[in-house]
């Protein structure tokens, strides 16, 4: 005769209800682990995260910290107040037309070759922002980045084809859903960056040929 090793009976079968299976499994000792939270962000609280009330504290901290890009540029979360036309009024800029405090980008060699200069769009003849303009009105002119211009042309053509605001719906100030000229020269662009819609502020200066 051969002796068989005793086998431990299984207290449940395949057809057992899930709660019986769970109760039959051996318990595993569990010691709660303390979780150290990172120090609070030094970036101001994002108004959008506070208003929504849907994010927990850790997520709000991440959104706040990610507002600071490259250690210098503050791209805070876009808020309802950023859609108001009054925010871009001349009065909101202290009665003077607004200039980006970050200064002008460096001119390209091609722009410097023709002595290009920065000019306010509102000072140019025929300056306008219109939701009826065709993509054929977008010109590269003195802009060195043809990929950006091409993207704008494609986006505007898409808007006209489908009747939806892919780009224009994210440019402020607006009136009746259409971007309008800002009397202060200050514009807000809503872009999705680092997990949230954020405010990118730009002035109205464009590189132009002299004269």
pLDDT mean across residues, the chain: 75
Look at residue 209 in the predicted model and tell me its pLDDT: 86
Look at residue 91 in the predicted model and tell me its pLDDT: 92
Predicted TM-score (pTM) of the model is 0.67
Look at residue 126 in the predicted model and tell me its pLDDT: 60
161 by DSSP, 3-state: which?
helix
Whether the CB-CB separation of 71 and 194 falls below 8 Å is answered with no
Look at residue 139 in the predicted model and tell me its pLDDT: 76
Q: Is residue 126 part of a domain?
A: yes
Q: Is residue 30 part of a domain?
A: no
Average pLDDT over residues 54-73: 77
Average pLDDT over residues 184-190: 95
pLDDT > 60? residue 37:
no
Q: Is residue 62 part of a domain?
A: no
Whether the CB-CB separation of 185 and 202 falls below 8 Å is answered with no
**C-alpha–C-alpha distance, residues 92 and 88, integer Å:** 6
Look at residue 68 in the predicted model and tell me its pLDDT: 82
Q: Is residue 185 part of a domain?
A: yes
61 by DSSP, 3-state: which?
helix
- The answer for 124, left when phi > 0, alpha when psi is -120 to 50, beta otherwise, is beta
Q: Is residue 71 part of a domain?
A: no
* CA-closest candidate to residue 166, choices 147, 152, 145, 176: 152
Q: Is residue 7 part of a domain?
A: no
DSSP 207: E
Could you please report the per-residue DSSP string of 101-142?
A: TT-PPPPPHHHHHTT-EEEEGGGSTT----TT--GGG---TT
Average pLDDT over residues 79-86: 93
Neighbours of 182 (CB within 10 A): 26
Look at residue 46 in the predicted model and tell me its pLDDT: 39
pLDDT tier for residue 177 given thresholds of 50, 70 and 90: confident
Find which of 8-12, 47-51, 53-57, 102-106 is predicted with most confidence, using mean pLDDT: 102-106
Neighbours of 172 (CB within 10 A): 22
Between 45 and 28, the higher pLDDT residue: 28
Between 123 and 60, the higher pLDDT residue: 123
Q: Is residue 40 part of a domain?
A: no
Q: Which of 18-22, 42-46, 167-171 has the lowest mean pLDDT?
A: 42-46
Look at residue 69 in the predicted model and tell me its pLDDT: 80
Say how many domains are in the chain.
1
The tens digit of pLDDT for each residue in 93-110 reads 899 999 999 899 899 898
Q: Is residue 160 part of a domain?
A: yes
Q: What is the CA radius of gyration of the chain?
A: 29
Quote the domain boundaries for residue 123.
78-208
């Amino acid at each position: 005769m051969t002796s068989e090793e005793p086998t431990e009976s299984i207290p449940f079968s395949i057809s057992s209800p899930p709660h019986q299976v769970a109760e039959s499994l051996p318990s595993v000792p569990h010691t709660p682990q303390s979780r150290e939270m990172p120090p609070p962000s030094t970036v101001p609280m994002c108004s959008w995260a506070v208003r929504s009330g849907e994010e927990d504290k850790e997520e709000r901290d991440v959104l706040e910290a990610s507002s600071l890009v490259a250690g210098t540029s503050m791209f805070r979360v876009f808020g309802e107040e950023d859609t108001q036309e009054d925010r871009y009024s001349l009065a909101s800029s202290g009665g003077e037309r607004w200039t980006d405090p970050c200064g002008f980008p460096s001119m390209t060699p091609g722009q410097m070759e023709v002595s290009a200069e920065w000019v306010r769009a509102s000072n140019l003849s025929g300056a306008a922002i219109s939701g009826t303009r065709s993509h054929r009105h977008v010109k590269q002119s003195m802009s060195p980045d043809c990929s950006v211009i091409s993207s704008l042309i494609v986006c505007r053509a898409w808007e006209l084809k489908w009747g939806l605001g892919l780009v224009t719906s994210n440019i402020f100030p607006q009136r009746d859903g259409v971007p309008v000229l800002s009397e202060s020269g200050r514009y807000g662009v809503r872009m999705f960056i680092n997990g949230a819609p954020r405010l990118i502020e730009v002035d109205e200066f464009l590189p132009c040929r002299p004269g």
